[in-house]
Structure 1
Amino acid sequence: MNSFITLEGKRALVTSGTRGAGAATVRLFEELGARVLTTARTRPPEMSEAQFVAADLTDSGGCAEVAEAVRERLGGVDVVVHMLGGSSAPAGGYRALDDVEWQKEIDLNLMPAIRLDRALLPGMEAQGAGVVIHVTSIQSQLPLPEATTAYAAAKAALSTYSKSLSKQVSPNGVRVVRVSPGWIETESAVELARRLASEHGVDVQQGKQMIMDSLGGVPIGRPSTPDEIANLIAFIASDRAGTITGTEYVIDGGTVPTA
């Protein structure tokens, strides 16, 4: 048990908690004493049914199912971590983004947080305590025009929404904080590096370097690990961060330059 922070007795919802930084956050929260419920479209075999809700959060009905499960199984919630996000948009910049593609990015990266917050925040305000963590992205500041325009715009909207929400609910004891990761070395990120390496006839490490170069460079020389993202989230969720609200923590190895 980590002696610096504890989440003992906390009830937590972590969306998209079956792989990558989401899975790392679920594991760490449980190690620190929290009761955790997570959700994705499909339950992995290693995860128990008791801690999982199968739902599609891009749909309002899926969000309603998860909110109801939180109330039934946990009796309320103390920490909500909105980890869900990603992009399936085609490359090609604005010309490749029709209304359908734009709506997909908004439905995945913005609306689930809005819907779940709307369902769960009244209970947090009523108990006079809680933490909401919105996982945004440095893409909201450093979009890649050919690849991430819609994703970056949706994450920027999430960030603005999060800041506004913090102003409203912090006086009622609910903290709202943003975590903005850069490149995370997840399974899919490593697979991308392998694919790039194969396409260009180089090794995997050089494939990773190509990804970092596309982001304008990562001064620390490597991506963040899922566990490093989880460590930051756990600290913010803990009582050690009791007066931190309305702000954003960038964890990107120095990718975003100072203006």
Structure 2
Amino acid sequence: MPSFGDSMGKIAKDLRISKATVQTAIERGTIEDRPGRGRKKTARSQQNIRRAKAMIQRNPTTKANSYRKLAKKLEISHVQAWQILREDLGLKPWKYQKRQKLTENAKQKRLDRCRAMLRRFSRRRHRNIVFSDEKLFDIQQAFNPQNNRIWAEEEPDSEERAVERTQKAESVMVWAAITALGKTPLVFVPQNVKINKEVYTDVLERHLLPWAHTIFGDDEWTFQQDGAPGHKAYLVQDWL
């Protein structure tokens, strides 16, 4: 590092800058820029910042005031609009979040159930809860119309780009259960077989129970099924 008494050549070499820059700094007595020096802000002027802030306060959604829409209104580039929003105003675009609409009664009921669960499954017993559910999957090619594309010098044949759809696609029902200690093998229900109380009980008998004995051995465990109507049938409840 440069020290007091070094020549301009040595200072320039140590700092990897030109001798002219060193000489200018010595003559000015500082390396800081003078106030007001440099290119004046035009797009990011205080007036545009105030206008942008007022637009966001009127409608803070990106649908109304995206970077590009704001840039068009202010007659600046979208990069400069981005800088005004992110750097000058300190704003970030937050995504909307989906959630179930709950009444006050439903919220209280969930809170009471959670407290009861905490009392019942203290001392790490929650790790021995087995959750199960089933899901119907359509057997069709999945694709994202925005991001799934084909690299090619010329436009590919339409057959290569086609993703076919049918109104009544074939489907497969899959059942599975999970716990903190592992997961069951997937159970594929034969096509055209509806999971009624008899089929569901058979799945529990032939798949859930043997797996649970292997995972938990002689330890206590709890089975938490979803609230499908068929799961509440007397046949299922008697088996449980």
Question: So what's the TM-score if we normalise by structure 2?
Answer: 0.25
More helix by share: 1
Look at both structures and tell me which one has the larger radius of gyration over its CA atoms.
2
How high is the TM-score relative to the length of structure 1? 0.24
